[in-house]
Chain A
Amino acid sequence: MTKDELSTEIKYPPCKLACPILTDVREYIQLIAERRFEEALASIRNLNPLPRVCGRICTHPCEAACKRGQVDEPIAIPALKRFAADGPWKGRYKAIMPDKSTGQKVAVVGSGPAGLAAAHDLALLGHHVTIFEALPVLGGMLRVGVPAYRLPKNVVDEEIQAILDLGVEVKTGVRIGEEIKLTDLSEQGYKAVFVAIGAHKDRKLGIAGEDGFEGVVSAVSFLKAVNQGENPKVGKKVAVIGGGNTAVDSARCLLRMGAETVHMVYRRSRDEMPAAKEEIEEAIHEGVQVSYLTSPVEIFGEDGNVSALRCIKNELGEPDVSGRRIPKSVPGSEFTIDVDMVIAAIGQAPDSSFLDNELTERDKRIYVEDPYALMTTHPGVFAGGDAVTGPATVVEAISAGKRAGISIDLYLRGEPLPTTEQMEAVETAKLSPALIEKTRKFARCSKISLPAEARLKGFDEVDAVLSEDLATKEALRCLHCFLGARIDKEKCISCLTCVRVCPLGIPTTTKMGEIAIDPFACQACGMCVLECPVRAIDISLDPHSKIAREIEWAISRSQQVEPVIVGFFDLHGNFRSSDVESLRQDYPNILPVMVFGLRRVDTSDILKAFEFGADGVLLAGCPSDTDPFPETADRVKRRMAHARTMLEALGIDGARLEVCDMPDEGLVEKELIDGLIQRIKGPGQAR
């Protein structure tokens, strides 16, 4: 996204802004809350060809940015993504295929997430894509780096298959730069190339003894072997050097493969460790030992095999350019650990030996002219992913792939490439302590994971997918950033009603009656929207116009089973999508309108339902322990009482309006519905 876009009125929620591919987190979370799971998946899948992968191993910068995190704990965004992507509805997603092919051939070198994303997007743009992959398997690090206990291989395979189904061709076992050179590709008719070869070459430790003994292994080659089922030899006592995901994964794999002790050696402190926090915790939980502020000094060997690792303690000095404090060794603090294997996991670089002077390298990475458009110094050749950035993340690789897709498409059409600046890091506004205090806290869903002993028996996936109940509950924790109230200044008459009814005290006024609603602070409860006497407030979450439309729509499509009842159901209730379905089956005469709180239903909506032909109206509010704004409940009840008085004044039995609380589980008690139907059908009705 550009700075221009940022400065416009449309504000993206922090979660979306933090995502390198601008996933509409808020949207799919809302869809999950609405129990519209298939649409939630579509929302994700439209942007991301690897939702099941990302639902498991994405580093989720969105979560770190989530506004809820300022209140209690952030929304468990990846867990929700995985829920949406893993559900039984996953096979039903259909990408929209282009009408006709452009006839242009594009080569993608490397089948990691960057390559796959580019291939996916380019195929959908009608280009003919061929992926060249050096290894016999597809998926890059997803397939050969990330271990199966975090990312089962079938998940990777299935997602890749869906991409190939778009008509993408693959050539595995072809290492570009060997038989086929980069330059040959254009001769073969490829009009553009995307180089996404990742960073697979482990950096050397640069210490004495590194090359002298059996048992000093590079992490990437170790993981590659493990992931390709080669069952590499594993020591009993292993030291893993490094603090990134590769190091942690190597350590956790080692435990699963029979190592007795695994010792991670990391030169900085825990706070600086680049691996994901959860991963480090899981590793420690499984039994990995970590020595922080420790650097290796020398590897010793016996009989040609590794026998010990000499280390030295560090202390943190001045911060370097990246802001991280430089570790300095403490003289005299050396110590030795007995090991029979050392894994080096201190960073990787792309293996660009094939580049043949065709592409420029900088800092051991492929150089691109513009980090957004991704064209290399060689026209028509684009590059992205770890190969350009150095070891990074899946989602950044996908982002690169998608941007490459856009650039290549433009390039092929002879149009100028986008010259967008990279966005600066987004700073999330801070919520006031008062608002945090007023916001209702809801516990974050807990993970369901295998117990540690069970894990170490093999490579079974550690974390399970959320249940529907947990997922909807979690989704309902979302604070709907920027979907809230907006005042139309032209209409506002400064009556102060919004100021008075907001449960969070968001609207403020100036001396001259100019009312302002902080769009970031507002949680879209909808209270002010309805109470505003001049309808000067609009809202994006369940706007009032939408609810009116839904009533009309619900009645118009009813099969005229008498009596027609419009049912408003609060999405915050503890019910499942199947409850809604069985209600539809058992009571085809009840037309459900799902709302984020009964706050959104006004007297006029209830009257509208009767106006359009309803015989009764049912309003089911969520149990109070799930209501994010319980303080509004009383006002809502009184509003309904007013509606009932109004109905009575019209000569309609007020008992045709049933207002109830949902049960602790489920949508609504059957007896209540039956009672309402009875009353409607029963004798003694006025008019």
Chain B
Amino acid sequence: MIVLEQKKFQEIEKMTTGYNRLLVLGCETCAAMSFAGGQRQVAELASAIRVARKTTGEQGEVLEEAIARQCEPEFVDLIKDEVSGCDAVLSLACGAGVQMLAERFQDKVVLPGCNTTFLGVTEELGVWSERCAGCGNCILDKTAGLCPIARCSKQLLNGPCGGSMNGKCEISKDVDCVWQLIIDRLTRLNRLEMLEEIFPVKDWSPAGHGGPRKMVREDLKS
């Protein structure tokens, strides 16, 4: 899933000041699962903005709404009417959602209420960690199913670097060295010899360094 976090309230407050009728718009998929933008967080944030506005004396109504996914035009179009009655939309979706709103509501101010952090897994409730960097060319077959691009601080393909100590990355004792994990796993699988070969230089163009990415499926598109 895409992991998001809600922006600090002060930042949101500053960003939304001056927009009298503000629509706080939740996104009920990844944002909800990250506890950043589901209905529950929409209610909490909207209430917080209202309380803040009460104390600052700022006028205006704060409305609450949520749709299944802000990254889909059909869902977004379903809230056309609510949006048209507002001065700004505070989107609690990932950057993709925010931009979809901006695209569908050309004349409307759209503000991001969340930071899109990474593609990751839920380790346990309330703990998420990065697993994939979306590099566009998966290499997990060669790295024991553990991604050095997303999880090695230096994206080394021939790791580990000289900073790996006690299984931890040189950047912090709280971060696992993924190369240690890769080696451990390959040892378990009896395939450590895979690492004797030098991993060639990576083509970063599908990773976004080749320009904004787009995918077209001729068989599916209209």
Say whether B125 contacts A604, CB under 8 Å: no
- Residue from A532, A608, A649, A687 in contact with B40 in the complex, judged by beta carbons closer than 8 Å: A532
A534 and B28 in contact, given A497-B125, A603-B44 (Cβ under 8 angstroms): yes
B47 touches A493 (CB 8 A): no
Quick check: A534 and B32 within 8 Å, CB to CB? yes
A493→B55 CA distance, assembly (Å): 36
Assess whether A533 is in contact with B48, with CB atoms less than 8 Å apart: no
Q: Are B55 and A651 in contact, CB atoms less than 8 angstroms apart?
A: yes
- Which of A491, A531, A611 is close to B51, meaning CB atoms less than 8 Å apart? A611
A sample of 10 inter-chain contacts (CB < 8 A) reads A493-B28, A493-B33, A533-B35, A533-B40, A604-B43, A607-B48, A611-B50, A646-B9, A650-B48, A650-B55
- Given A500-B124, A500-B125, A611-B50, the answer on whether A646 and B35 have CB atoms closer than 8 Å is no
Q: Given B33, B50, B54, B55, which contacts A533 in the complex, CB threshold below 8 Å?
A: B33
A649 touches B38 (CB 8 A): no
CB-CB under 8 A from B50, the residues of chain A are 611
In the A-B complex, list the 4 residue pairs whose CB atoms are closest, starting with the nearest. A533-B38, A607-B47, A649-B9, A604-B44
Which one of B40, B122, B124 contacts A604 once the chains associate, using CB atoms below 8 Å? Answer: B40
Q: Closest CB of chain A to B37's CB: distance in Å?
A: 8
What residues make up the interface of A, taking CB atoms closer than 8 Å to B? 491, 493, 495-497, 500-501, 530-535, 602-604, 607-608, 610-611, 646, 649-652, 687
Residues of the A chain whose Cβ atoms lie less than 8 Å from the Cβ of B39 = 533-535
Q: Which residues of B contact A532 (CB under 8 A)?
A: 40
Q: Which of A500, A534, A535, A646 contacts B48 (CB 8 A)?
A: A646
Q: Are A646 and B29 in contact (CB under 8 A)?
A: no
Asked if B52 is at the interface (CB within 8 A of a chain A CB), the reply is: yes
> Which residues in A have their C-beta under 8 angstroms from that of B115?
none
Among A531, A604, A607, A687, the residue within 8 A (CB) of B55 is A687
A646-B44 contact in complex given A533-B39, A534-B39, A611-B51, C-beta closer than 8 Å: yes
Check B41 for interface membership: any CB of A closer than 8 A. yes
Most buried by B among A500, A607, A646, A651: A607
Nearest-CB residue, chain A, relative to B38: A533
CA distance in complex: A500, B124 (Å): 8
**Shortest distance between the CB of B60 and any CB in chain A (Å):** 14
In the bound complex, what is the Cα–Cα distance between A333 and B23 (angstroms)? 90
Q: In the complex, which of the residues A604, A646, A650 has the most CB atoms of chain B within 10 Å of its own CB atom?
A: A650
Which B residues from 33 to 77 make CB contacts under 8 A with A? Answer: 33, 35, 38-41, 43-44, 47-48, 50-52, 54-56, 66
**What residues of chain A lie closer than 8 Å to B213, measured between beta carbons?**
none
A532 to B32, CA, bound (A): 9
List chain B positions with a Cβ less than 8 A from chain A: 8-10, 28-29, 32-33, 35, 38-41, 43-44, 47-48, 50-52, 54-56, 66, 122, 124-125
Provide the bound-state CA to CA distance between A493 and B33, in Å. 8
A650 interface neighbour in B32, B40, B51, B66, Cβ under 8 Å: B51
Contact check, A610 vs B51: say whether CB atoms are below 8 A apart: yes
In the assembled complex, how far is the CB of residue B47 from the closest CB belonging to chain A, in whole angstroms?
A: 4
- Chain A contacts of B55 at CB under 8 A? 650-652, 687
Q: Tell whether, in the assembled complex, residue B40 and residue A493 are in contact, meaning their CB atoms are under 8 Å apart.
A: no
Q: Is there an interface contact between B124 and A533, defined as CB atoms closer than 8 Å?
A: no
Q: A607-B44, A611-B54 are in contact. List 6 more A-B contacts (CB 8 A).
A: A493-B28, A495-B33, A533-B40, A534-B39, A646-B44, A649-B10
Query: B40–A534 contact, CB under 8 A?
Result: yes
Give the shortest distance, in Å, between B189 (CB) and chain A (any CB). Answer: 26
Q: Which residues of B contact A602 (CB under 8 A)?
A: 40, 44
Complex CA gap A651/B9 in Å reads: 10
Quick check: B9 and A650 within 8 Å, CB to CB?
Answer: yes
Q: In the assembled complex, which residues on chain B have CB atoms less than 8 Å from the CB atom of A651?
A: 52, 55
Contacts of A610 in B (CB 8 A): 51
- B20 to chain A minimum Cβ distance, whole angstroms, is 17
Question: Chain B residues with Cβ under 8 A from A604's Cβ?
Answer: 40, 43-44, 47
Shortest Cβ distance from B6 into chain A, in angstroms? 10
| A254–B221 alpha-carbon span in the complex (Å) | 93
Expressed in whole angstroms, the Cα–Cα distance for A608 and B40 within the complex equals 13
Q: Report the minimum CB–CB distance from A416 to chain B (whole Å).
A: 49
User: Distance (Å) between the CB of B23 and the closest chain A CB?
Assistant: 17
B25 to chain A minimum Cβ distance, whole angstroms, is: 14
How far, in whole Å, are A448 and B206 apart by their CA atoms in the complex? 79
**Shortest Cβ distance from B208 into chain A, in angstroms?**
28
| B124–A534 touching, CB < 8 Å | no
Q: Given contacts A493-B33, A646-B9, A650-B9, is CB(A534)–CB(B51) below 8 Å?
A: no
Which residues of the partner chain A approach B10 to less than 8 Å between Cβ atoms? 649
Give the residues in chain B near A530, CB-CB below 8 Å.
40
Considering only CB atoms, which chain A residue lies closest to B9 in the complex?
A: A649
Contacts of A531 in B (CB 8 A): 40
The residue in chain A whose Cβ has the minimal distance to the Cβ of B8 is: A649
What CA separation (Å) do A608 and B46 show in the bound complex? 10
For B51, list chain A residues within 8 Å (CB).
607, 610-611, 650, 652
Distance (whole angstroms) from the CB of B63 to the closest CB of chain A: 14
Q: Which of B40, B122, B124 contacts A535 (CB 8 A)?
A: B40
Question: By CB atoms of chain A within 10 A, which of B33, B47, B50 has the most?
Answer: B47
> Once the chains are docked, how many angstroms separate the CA of A530 from the CA of B43?
12
- Looking at the assembled complex, report how far the CB atom of B55 sits from the nearest CB atom of chain A, in whole angstroms: 4
Residues in B with CB closer than 8 Å to A649 are: 8-10, 48
Min distance, Cβ B125 to any Cβ of chain A, angstroms: 4
Tell me how far the C-beta of A1 lies from the nearest C-beta in chain B, rounded to whole angstroms.
Answer: 36
CA distance A630 to B100 in the complex (A): 44
Question: How distant is the Cα of A495 from the Cα of B31 in the complex, in angstroms?
Answer: 11
What's the minimum C-beta distance from B64 to chain A, rounded to whole angstroms? 10
